[in-house]
Amino acid sequence: MTTEQVLLFAILGVALLLFAWGRLRYDLVAMLALLAAVVLGVVPAEGAFDGFGHPAVITVAAILILSRALRNSALIDVAARLLGNLGGRPSVQVLGLAATTAVFSAFMNNVGALALMLPVALAVANGAKRPASEVLMPISFASLLGGLTTLIGTPPNIVIASFRAGERGEPFGMFDFAPVGLTVALVGVAFVALVGWRLLPKRIAGQTSEKPLVDIEDYVTEVRLPAKSDYVGRRLTEIETLAKADLSVVALVRNDDRILAPSGFVRLQAGDILVLEADADALQLVLDKAELELVGAADISAGDLRSERVGLVEAVIVPGSRMEGRTARSMRLHTRFGLNLLAFARQGEEQHERLGQVRFAAGDVLLLQGEREAMPDVLAALGCLPLAGRDLQLRRRDGSPWTLLIFLAAIGTVVAGLLPPQIAFIGAAIGALAVGDLHLRELYETVEWPVIVLLGALIPVGLALETTGGSATVAHPLLQLGAYAPAWVVLGLLMIVTMLLSDIMNNAATAVLMAPIGIEVAQGLGASVDPFLMAVAIGASSTYLTPIGHQSNLLVMGPGGYRFYDYWRMGLPLDLLIVAIGLPAILLFWPL
């Protein structure tokens, strides 16, 4: 191996370890890998940031924007709500939810499709009195399966198409992935609906309209502010500051008037009764220092904490949220965002540590109280996905069918070859903005910038695999195997290695790194590059063994109450099934 190859493999090895470790965000890891490659001379400095203008990156950003616009549009919302009436046997319910999620995911971002279906799935599970754990992982997997079917269904497909364009001068088209992807998706959805959900644990987790994920009744107490207290005439926020954000004032009772989620700037009066949600330590602290009088445990339920003005919602923290790694105290949720954090759960288990001190993580489920009108914008700003709201409208009511029509027109121009995907879908995003299904602020907020940074940083590194001969070095063992075994065995092994890699690192990053190797193997065997690129595409999107490989898996972990090892229960047989079905399908539709 040359010095450049050794340095490149060292960089990629460290990056892979950091991806698997998970303590650093994947976009930061990608940027560190790019900078290391530039400093060590593996990637030329003048081309270091060419990846950020790559057509694949632009297309991914456009699809992320359009996914948000489609979620705001009327027709998609109506279709999702109709599924709330699913009845019959469990397999029928899971099949309806998974199939619809897969269809949405074929034309939307995977996470966008899941976000649309997550509240519907929870409502269906609640109506059938079944554990949420039986339906959430199936729709997460379905969102990944549906993405296999089209060019825009998942970022790996867009990446693979760009590598094909570089190799053959023409990218894969909009529906070139469909023959193989649709075959795999149909079999996969049938599996999760008929067999897969039976392999999952039956854990009760997730928000429903009748039963919340977290109960707060045991932690709600009423206290009275006596005339002798030094806090008479002071602002309510000073009580919260006194407890270091380890309590929430969920209501204030004054002269028989109950004020829910009172403003922190309300001046306290003698005789005020505060309804506090706090643990024993935080409660005792404010009782002592503010000279409050304990009235007793409040006879209150979650239903008493909402009104026409105030609502309750459970929301899951999405990967990349501004809340990750921070505490309620440091974020000042009440004073800055008008939210009371009443409780939270992690991996389906209610947590009883002091609320102000817990460091939030992606997948945590929060029970929040706040003003109904402001809640959708606040949750979006925080990077939280609403699971469901009790009579709380969490999306705009003014959605229209125009975005769907614009989107279909953009697909038509790509299929007809009139416009390249990055131009057509950027135009569609501007169209959605023009018809009002997307606000200008949402246009920037909805882009998953960590994914964009990841792709922009790794594309030059992936190209360096080719220019330095690194892909040829990695492909050499596979080529040696090809001397003794049929080419389809090498193809299957390439798919399996890609699958395993995607379970510990982002699937788009996996596609960037494995596509050059697939091309090198194909050329070494004297075969067409198309089947090998298709194998990488299928493998990169088959992220079923861990929750960390894809955001969809991580998003359902908390609401479904899943453990890390639960993903193997349904994911391993699904992976084996995909290899068994996908490999013959590739050989049939994309001959060697």
Helix orientation angle between 3-21 and 26-39, rounded to the nearest 10 degrees: 160
| Tens-place pLDDT, residues 106-115 | 998 888 888 8
| Tens-place pLDDT, residues 356-365 | 778 888 888 8
- Give the residue carrying structure tokens 């998974």: 98
pLDDT at 180 over 50: yes
Q: What is the mean pLDDT of residues 514-527?
A: 92
Q: What is the pLDDT of residue 495?
A: 95
> What's the whole-number average pLDDT of the chain?
85
Under the banding of pLDDT at 50, 70 and 90, the label for residue 298 is low
Under the banding of pLDDT at 50, 70 and 90, the label for residue 332 is confident
Pick from 274, 435, 279: which is nearest to 342 by CA?
Answer: 279
Please give the domain boundaries of the chain with CATH numbers for all domains. Answer: 3-207+406-589 (no CATH), 217-301 (3.30.70.1450), 310-389 (3.30.70.1450)
Sheet architecture: strand order including 247-254: 257-260, 247-254, 273-278, 220-224, 293-297
Q: What is the pLDDT of residue 516?
A: 92
Under the banding of pLDDT at 50, 70 and 90, the label for residue 245 is low
DSSP state of 385: E
pTM of the model: 0.83
pLDDT at 304 over 50: yes
| Tens-place pLDDT, residues 28-78 | 999 999 999 999 999 999 989 999 989 989 999 998 888 888 877 665 556
Lowest mean pLDDT among 75-84, 112-121, 247-256: 75-84
CA distance 269 to 235: 10
CB atoms within 10 A of CB 270: 13
pLDDT at 302 over 70: no
Q: What is the pLDDT of residue 398?
A: 54
Under the banding of pLDDT at 50, 70 and 90, the label for residue 208 is very low
Q: What is the pLDDT of residue 570?
A: 94
pLDDT at 577 over 50: yes
Which residues, including other chains, have CB under 8 Å from residue 324's CB and lie 6 or more apart? 317, 360, 361, 362, 383
Whether residue 591 contacts residue 530, with contact meaning beta carbons closer than 8 Å, is answered with no
Which residues, including other chains, have CB under 8 Å from residue 65's CB and lie 6 or more apart? 429, 432, 438, 443, 446, 447
Q: In sequence order, what DSSP letters do the residues of 83-135 get, joined into one string? A: GGG--S-HHHHHHHHHHHHHHHHHHS-HHHHHHHHHHHHHHHHHHTT--THHH
Q: What is the pLDDT of residue 390?
A: 42
pLDDT at 82 over 80: no
Q: What is the mean pLDDT of residues 570-574?
A: 95
CA distance 98 to 196: 11
Q: Which residues pair with 314 in a beta bridge?
A: 367, 388
Q: What is the pLDDT of residue 410?
A: 93
